[in-house]
Amino acid sequence: MTPDEFKTALRRLGRTQIGFALEIGVSRRTVHLWAERGPPAYAVYLLTLIERYGVKAAQNDQATPIPTDPAHVLSGMYTQAISTSDGPSFVGAVEHWVQRHKKGKI
């Protein structure tokens, strides 16, 4: 994914660079660098999952902080997947990603 494709994907999904950084638990600087140089495979994969399962962007309204715990974010994505009867596919996709990551393929 090119830097321009990354920025377009964020806009399409209703995310800002800062919001996406908070959502996935990386620094703002990291996402800014992705916007300049292109994101790594795992960030592209997360964007794909967000789009596939229709995860809404969190609203940062002071009263409700944006979750940065990956387990919390994945839990929300899984809940959304179950609502469309796609839970097993979601779990399989995440397990596949974890296995590839462990083997250093991502």
Q: What does the alpha-carbon distance between residue 4 and residue 64 come to, in Å, rounded to a whole number?
A: 31
Q: Domain span at residue 92?
A: 3-102
- pLDDT one-digit tens code per residue, 38-71: 999 989 998 998 888 888 876 654 444 455 566 7
Backbone angles phi, psi at 27, to 5 degrees: -75, 155
Q: 0.85 exceeded by the pTM?
A: no
Q: How many domains does the chain have?
A: 1
Q: Are 64 and 77 in contact (CB under 8 A)?
A: no
* CA distance linking residue 28 with residue 73, whole number of Å: 17
The string of pLDDT tens digits covering residues 2-45 is: 999 999 999 999 999 998 988 888 899 999 999 999 999 989 99
Tell me the C-alpha distance between 70 and 73, whole Å: 5
